[in-house]
Amino acid sequence: MRVNVHVNGVRETVDDVWEGESLLYLLRERMGLPGSKNACEQGECGSCTVYLDGVPACSCLVAAGQARERSVRTVEGLATATGTADRLDPVQQAFVETGAVQCGFCTPGLIVQAHDLIERNPEPTDAEIREALAGNLCRCTGYEKILDAVRVAARRKAAAQ
Ligand code: FES
Ligand code: FES
């Protein structure tokens, strides 16, 4: 089947999509967007999180056909949305600077989820950060550096407004 989908602001057409294909597969294997990671493929880890019509979703649980004519924003799209193509979003920058990235497998999903949190709640408490990121698993960092990254990003975004 053919799937038309808006990805990071561009309308894309993908042909020969099979019925059981996930949005995650579509993004990674057909569109050359490997940022969203495939760790569990069961909706358990959050590493595949993308915005779907502005709401974070596990792309491994969304059938590619369900994304037809909808808007998808991936971790790659956060960077380009700030202006020039190689300029990171403040959340991405904070993850790099605070040491919140180790193996990096969880990072794209955490960044999308943290980005959404700060958009909705510019000054989140630690409890609110933990709750927002509860569905995103990290096996490397112990989460403290991730909390640091979200705090830093929220402060910077607030200062820039
Ligand atoms: S790969 Fe989708 S939730 Fe783990
Ligand atoms: S940095 Fe390795 S799983 Fe989080």
Domain boundaries of the chain, sorted by first residue = 3-79, 88-160
- Give me ligand 2 centre to Cα 32, in Å: 22
Residue 134's pLDDT is: 97
Per-residue pLDDT of the chain (161 residues; tens, 9 = 90+): 999 999 999 999 999 999 999 999 999 999 999 999 999 999 999 999 999 999 999 999 999 999 999 999 999 999 865 455 568 999 999 999 999 999 999 999 999 999 999 999 999 999 999 999 999 999 999 999 999 999 999 999 888 87
Long-range contacts of the stretch 65-68 (C-beta < 8 A, 24+): 65/1, 65/3, 65/17, 65/19, 65/21, 66/23, 67/3, 67/5, 67/23, 67/26, 68/3, 68/4, 68/5
Separation CA 117–CA 153 (nearest Å): 11
Give the nearest ligand 1 atom to 46 CA.
3
- Give me ligand 2 centre to Cα 138, in Å: 5
Q: Tally Cβ neighbours within 10 Å of residue 143.
A: 17
Kindly report the protein residue whose alpha carbon is nearest to atom 3 of ligand 1: 43
Q: Tally Cβ neighbours within 10 Å of residue 126.
A: 10
Residue 159's pLDDT is: 85
- Give me ligand 1 centre to Cα 42, in Å: 5
CA 57 from chain centre, in angstroms, equals 9
Separation CA 101–CA 140 (nearest Å): 9
The CATH code of domain 3-79 reads: 3.10.20.30
Give the nearest ligand 2 atom to 139 CA.
3
Residue 85's pLDDT is: 55
Q: Which residues line ligand 2 (CB under 6 A)?
A: 101-106, 138-141
Residue 84's pLDDT is: 52
- The pTM assigned to this predicted structure is 0.94
Which residues lie closer than 8 Å to 22 by C-beta, 6 or more apart?
Answer: 41, 59, 60, 61, 62, 63, 64
- Give me ligand 2 centre to Cα 60, in Å: 18
Q: Which residues line ligand 1 (CB under 6 A)?
A: 38-41, 43-48, 58, 60
Q: What's the CATH fold of domain 88-160? A: DNA polymerase; domain 1 (1.10.150)
Instruction: Find the ligand nearest to 135 CA.
Output: 1
